[in-house]
Chain A
């Protein structure tokens, strides 16, 4: 008869948190910023079909990083929760706070249940209000805690660095183009200080726009509109313009990143370092 090893609860929880954090750190980041007309979500996502940012309800959207099947499961659960609530009561009665609570319960239960592996996901739930003060952004880490955020948030692989970069530069009342520019700048910084170039094809951008006349405020910014917004910001600064040029030539991502960084910052070659982090299945 074998004697089971004793593992202290602290150690068990620390191991699970470590496991989840490692899984999340492998993926590319998502940033969420408030701007004057609402909330903008920017994700680095080469896939057109697998979304990291999605609509939940009229004024509520969802962004996630980590394992796709796990956060997709949570997204569908959230859409069901919101639709059922809105049908039973009223569309007004669906709130980001309620949804974030449900997510926190789910994630917390899974994290502390010994029978299941912890979810390797980190979520953002945001709701746009009638004025910037009424906007709500909640960040939900893998262990089921809730963090009420203001201004800007980042989750995913390089979140700490991106967050501090955003905190220093984000201000209230930015336009969509300004916020988008800041988001793309923050996402294109590597964890070792280098810079990559992100083109419109590698970005997934969506907004919750309070000025939209429809009831459903969520809108994806795609194709021409996205390129135009990126160019609008690029025109103000010559360096950013050069990045856009590199993008249009259709060079593969890592290559363009290396070259762009080499030209602009003199730290060429390090852009490829990002590859080492991506092991196992393609992260999102």
Chain B
């Protein structure tokens, strides 16, 4: 954001002096984010755990945010930096829309996020990385699209599904076996909750659905009607259904062998 850079550069995340090198800094880290596309939209979901070393720093953190009306961003990595990056990203999209009188294209939004991640590279090298997953509904192509990033700001479009964060390996593998091209919105939401369950199963930094405290994953849906966050009641219904089946089959649904 040029204006902010010229007038108050200290507010931009990339312009801070780097802390002196003395090992990794202990700060809360967000963990797993998954996304899955379905005909007519895309689902983006995240677990609720933030960890600081081996300590659970927060069990009800929210890591999926609307970027604007037709896109959302889920963040893995250093929570403080990531949340501020999202705040600035939201501001930029809104500012552009108001000044220009038109929304940025989905590609434009994805590219802008890429630049913001790259500006954080210095911090990332010291262990304070931010790696988001960006999903949105492309109004021109009329479909949901997913973009994943690496710490250097490298951007790649994912087809079908994607995951980021410490539990992403497990989540992506689970989603790979569950994903179908012809998912309905509800099926896609169930698939991402299953994937998060599998990630929590194998990754200590990812939190599963917390039945006792009623803390469930954040599940958001973006369609041609815009961004929508599923209510607690809707997510709890999905999470409870998944949990019920896992009581019978702890490893989740079995995929066909051939």
Contact B8 A79 (CB under 8 A): no
Q: Determine if A87 and B91 form an interchain contact, defined as CB atoms under 8 angstroms apart.
A: yes
Which of A76, A83, A84, A88 is the one whose CB lies under 8 Å from B94?
A83
A87 in contact with B88 (CB, 8 Å): yes
Contact of B3 among A84, A86, A88 (CB under 8 A): A84
Q: Which of A79, A80, A87 contacts B11 (CB 8 A)?
A: A87
Q: Which chain A residue lies CB-closest to B92?
A: A83
Establish whether residues A84 and B98, one from each chain, have CB atoms under 8 Å apart when the complex forms: no
B99 A79 Cβ-Cβ under 8 A: yes
**Assuming A84-B4, A84-B7, is B98 touching A79 (CB within 8 A)?**
yes
Chain A residues with Cβ below 8 Å from B246 are none
Whether A56 pairs with B4 at a CB distance below 8 angstroms is no
Q: Which residues of A contact B94 (CB under 8 A)?
A: 83, 216
> Is residue B101 contacting chain A, with contact meaning CB distance below 8 A?
yes
A270 interface contact, C-beta 8 A:
no
Q: Which residues of A have CB within 8 Å of B87?
A: 87
- Take A83-B94, A86-B91 as given contacts and tell me if A76 and B11 are in contact as well, using a CB distance cutoff of 8 Å: no
B94-118 contact mask (Cβ, 8 Å, vs A): 1 or 0? 1100110100000000000000000
- Which residues of chain B have C-beta atoms less than 8 A from A79's C-beta? 95, 98-99
> How far, in whole Å, are A88 and B1 apart by their CA atoms in the complex?
14
Q: Is there an interface contact between A83 and B91, defined as CB atoms closer than 8 Å?
A: yes
The number of residue pairs between A and B whose CB atoms lie closer than 8 Å in the complex comes to: 29
B interface bracket (residues with beta carbon within 8 Å of A): 10 to 19
Compute how far the CA of A83 lies from the CA of B11 in the bound complex, rounded to whole angstroms.
Answer: 13
Check A83/B95 contact, CB under 8 A, given A88-B8, A88-B11. yes
List of A residues within 8 angstroms of B98 by Cβ: 54-56, 79, 83
Residues of B within 8 A of A84 (CB): 3-4, 7-8
Nearest residue (CB) in B for A88 is B11
Measured CA separation A60–B131 after assembly (Å): 34
CA distance A69 to B100 in the complex (A): 14
Q: Which of chain A's residues have a CB closer than 8 A to the CB of B3?
A: 80, 84
Interface residues of A in 67-100 (CB under 8 A from B): 76, 79-80, 83-84, 86-88
Q: Roughly how many angstroms separate A87 CA and B93 CA in the complex, as a whole number? A: 13
What is the minimal beta-carbon distance from A114 to any residue of chain B, in angstroms?
28
CA distance A254 to B11 in the complex (A): 53
Q: Is A51 an interface residue (CB 8 A)?
A: yes
Give the distance to chain A from B70, nearest Cβ to Cβ, in Å.
13
> Which residues from B are CB-within-8-Å of A54?
98, 101
How distant is the Cα of A54 from the Cα of B11 in the complex, in angstroms?
27
Cβ distance B85 to chain A, nearest Cβ, rounded Å: 12
When each residue 51-91 of chain B gets 1 if its CB lies under 8 Å from chain A and 0 otherwise, what string results? 00000000000000000000000000000000000011001
Which B residues are within 8 Å of any A CB, using their own CB? 3-4, 7-8, 11, 87-88, 91, 94-95, 98-99, 101
The 4 closest A-B pairs by CB, nearest first: A83-B95, A79-B98, A87-B91, A80-B3
Q: A residues engaging B (CB < 8 A)?
A: 49, 51, 54-56, 76, 79-80, 83-84, 86-88, 216
Given A87-B4, A87-B87, A87-B91, 13 more contacts at CB 8 Å? A49-B101, A54-B101, A56-B98, A79-B98, A79-B99, A80-B95, A83-B91, A83-B95, A84-B3, A84-B7, A84-B8, A88-B11, A216-B94
